[in-house]
């Protein structure tokens, strides 16, 4: 028998897992997790979707059948489509606090204006405990009108606009164009008329009215136009679309009495006319006149816009000259008589003996002692590539344009005739706080209008194209002694005869008869 005791080795047995009872339902559960509640009770008592609303609204336009994606974007989405589901999920607040597992539509009646979405999300309910829950969200479809459809149903909105522009430093062209429009009633179909810095904007309710206005402009002025369109709305039920049309019209920047340098090829094509000419008339074509040879030529609008060119000097840069001597040469063309005239600048008259011996077309109306307006080219620095190509030896020092009448009473209050004006809405060209610039704009507009009235008094051919109206007797101002003296000084200035004036009442009756017929 041995002195030692044999040890009986037994197999190691697995230690039993410690269990605890759920504090809510009493079901045994693993106690090593540190939880006091089972998973099922956690799902029942803890709501990870708290803060996510169960109801929401989506905006829908019944006309174009688009949904609003905030803030201002409208998208096309069919029912139970991926686009609509994405839109609904974006509208749901608090969804970013949980993890989205699944989302699907629950079928509803299409006319019920309800959209039901089933969502499955995961989130942390307690420490180290992720639970998954499913819930439903109901969206109420709110019917409203999108801005595009609202525009299409707004009363008195415009469908077409004609924007007329001319890049010149005065408004004489638009003043004359305004009178032509009034004479031919071309503005009768307009919804509104707005005046901007460089021109006028005419708004129409129908496209054909704008096209009619465009045809009228092309018949009275050298223009080029460009058309553009903008989609307003689309009706999916009738497969029709609504557009707004814009016609951008630009008038040639060459005006009456402007000094122009013609390109060499163009001058040759116009009968070898001199390249340095005056613009004598503007209609649907441009008429140029050479004061040194009495030659004239017409340039139609399409040829001009193929290779356009600006004026060298415009009527705002005319200088007054005093006529010293006139010697007719015997050449006559219409109302123009060619003559060799000696002139001196009015600013130099009496201070120096500078005079200029030139050839002009005004031999029939100018006499020694008269005043005239012309362009002073001697020692002038002109920024023009076309002018630089001219032969400097043959350029005259002065080019006379028209006779000048000294007027002391420069206001239209002494005139016994008037013009009609269109009712225009003025755009805010000048900021409210810049009163000085606003005053300058107002003074320039008044100066341009006064020069236009004087031009009408001096040009009988121009008066025949527009309507002049009598001023009522009760509107005649009471003249003071100063006004009487000014009128005596203005006796040499041209006057408009009473036989050229129309009565406003007769004109209104004629317009009504024309509209009825």
Which pLDDT belongs to residue 374?
93
Provide the 10 A C-beta neighbour count for residue 339: 21
Average pLDDT of the chain is 81
Best-predicted range by mean pLDDT (45-54, 253-262, 447-456) = 253-262
Q: What is the mean pLDDT of residues 505-515?
A: 47
Q: Are 449 and 176 in contact (CB under 8 A)?
A: no
Chain-centroid distance, C-alpha 461:
34
Q: What letter does residue 266 receive in the DSSP assignment?
A: H
Residue 400 backbone dihedrals phi, psi, to 5 degrees: -80, 145
Length of the chain: 517
Q: Are 344 and 357 in contact (CB under 8 A)?
A: no
Which pLDDT belongs to residue 427?
60
Question: Phi-psi region for residue 129, left (φ > 0), alpha (ψ -120 to 50) or beta?
Answer: beta
Q: Out of 71-75, 119-123, 147-151, pick the least confident.
A: 147-151
Question: Domain coordinates of the chain in residue numbers?
Answer: 46-147, 155-233+240-251, 258-403
Q: 393 versus 209: which is more confidently predicted?
A: 209
Q: 156 versus 35: which is more confidently predicted?
A: 35
**CA distance linking residue 188 with residue 200, whole number of Å:** 15
Residue 95 backbone dihedrals phi, psi, to 5 degrees: -70, -20
**CA distance linking residue 361 with residue 372, whole number of Å:** 12
**CA distance linking residue 225 with residue 414, whole number of Å:** 40
Q: Are 88 and 55 in contact (CB under 8 A)?
A: no
Q: What is the mean pLDDT of residues 490-506?
A: 71
**CA distance linking residue 497 with residue 512, whole number of Å:** 27
Residue 455 to residues 176, 203, 306, 439, 496, Cα–Cα distance (Å):
10, 30, 31, 24, 11
- Interior/surface letters 5-39, b for 16+ CB within 10 angstroms, e for the rest: eeeeeeeeeeeeeeeeebeeeeeebeeeeebebbe
Q: Out of 29-43, 156-170, 330-344, pick the least confident.
A: 29-43
Chain-centroid distance, C-alpha 155:
22
Which pLDDT belongs to residue 125?
72
**CA distance linking residue 14 with residue 445, whole number of Å:** 106
The structure's pTM equals 0.65
How confident is residue 408, by pLDDT bands cut at 50, 70 and 90?
low
Which pLDDT belongs to residue 406?
77
Q: What is the mean pLDDT of residues 15-43?
A: 69
Q: Express each pLDDT in 284-293 by its tens digit.
A: 899 999 999 9
Q: What letter does residue 199 receive in the DSSP assignment?
A: E
Percent of the chain exceeding pLDDT 90 equals: 25
Q: What is the mean pLDDT of residues 406-423?
A: 71
Q: What letter does residue 193 receive in the DSSP assignment?
A: E
* Two tokens, residue 201: 């904007």
**CA distance linking residue 455 with residue 468, whole number of Å:** 13
Q: Is the dihedral of CA 308, 310, 312, 316 positive or negative?
A: positive
How confident is residue 9, by pLDDT bands cut at 50, 70 and 90?
very low
Q: Are 442 and 480 in contact (CB under 8 A)?
A: no
Q: Express each pLDDT in 319-376 by its tens digit.
A: 999 999 999 998 898 889 999 999 999 888 777 888 899 999 999 999 999 999 999 9
């Amino acid at each position: 028998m041995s002195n030692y005791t044999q040890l009986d080795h037994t197999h190691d047995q697995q230690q039993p897992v410690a269990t605890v009872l759920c504090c809510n339902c009493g079901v045994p559960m693993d106690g090593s997790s540190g939880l006091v509640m089972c998973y099922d009770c956690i799902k029942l008592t803890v709501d990870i979707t708290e803060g996510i609303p169960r109801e929401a609204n989506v905006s829908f336009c019944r006309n174009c059948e688009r949904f609003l994606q905030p803030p201002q974007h409208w998208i096309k989405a069919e029912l139970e489509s991926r686009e609509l589901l994405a839109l609904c999920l974006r509208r749901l607040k608090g969804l970013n606090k949980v993890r989205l597992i699944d989302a699907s539509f629950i079928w509803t009646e299409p006319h019920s204006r309800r959209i039901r979405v089933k969502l499955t999300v995961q989130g942390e309910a307690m420490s180290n405990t992720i639970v998954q829950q499913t819930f439903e969200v109901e969206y109420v479809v709110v019917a409203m009108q999108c801005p595009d459809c609202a525009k299409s149903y707004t009363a008195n909105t415009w469908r077409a606009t004609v924007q007329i522009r001319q890049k010149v430093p005065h408004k004489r062209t638009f003043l004359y164009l305004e009178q032509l429009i009034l004479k031919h009633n071309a503005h009768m179909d307009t919804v509104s008329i707005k005046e901007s810095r460089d021109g006028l904007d005419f708004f129409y309710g129908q496209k054909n009215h704008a096209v009619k206005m465009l045809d009228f402009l092309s018949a009275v002025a050298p223009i080029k136009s460009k058309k553009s369109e903008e989609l307003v709305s689309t009706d999916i039920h009738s497969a029709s679309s609504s557009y707004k049309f814009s016609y951008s019209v630009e008038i040639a920047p060459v005006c009456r009495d402007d000094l122009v340098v013609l390109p060499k090829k163009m001058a040759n094509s116009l009968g070898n006319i001199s390249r340095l000419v005056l613009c004598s008339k503007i209609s649907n074509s441009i008429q140029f006149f050479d004061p040194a040879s009495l030659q004239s030529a017409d340039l139609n609008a399409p040829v001009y816009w193929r290779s356009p060119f600006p004026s060298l000097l415009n009527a705002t840069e005319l200088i007054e000259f005093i006529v010293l001597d006139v010697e007719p040469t015997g050449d006559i063309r219409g109302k123009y008589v060619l003559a060799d005239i000696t002139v001196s600048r009015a600013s130099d008259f009496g201070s120096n003996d500078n005079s200029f011996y030139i050839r002009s077309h005004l031999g029939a109306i100018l006499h020694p002692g008269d005043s005239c307006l012309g362009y002073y080219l001697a020692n002038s620095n002109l920024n023009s590539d076309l002018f630089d190509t001219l032969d400097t030896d043959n350029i005259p020092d002065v080019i006379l344009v028209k006779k000048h009448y000294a007027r002391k009473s420069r206001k239209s209050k002494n005139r016994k005739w008037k013009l009609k004006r269109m009712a225009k809405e003025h755009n805010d060209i000048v900021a409210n706080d810049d009163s000085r610039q606003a005053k300058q704009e107002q003074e320039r507009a008044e100066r341009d209008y006064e020069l236009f009235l004087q031009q009408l008094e001096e040009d009988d051919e121009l008066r025949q194209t527009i309507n002049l109206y009598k001023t009522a007797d009760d509107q005649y101002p009471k003249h003071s002694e100063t006004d009487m003296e000014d009128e005596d000084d203005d006796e040499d200035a041209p006057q408009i005869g009473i036989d050229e004036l129309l009565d406003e009442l007769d004109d209104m009756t004629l317009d009504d008869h024309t509209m009825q017929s």
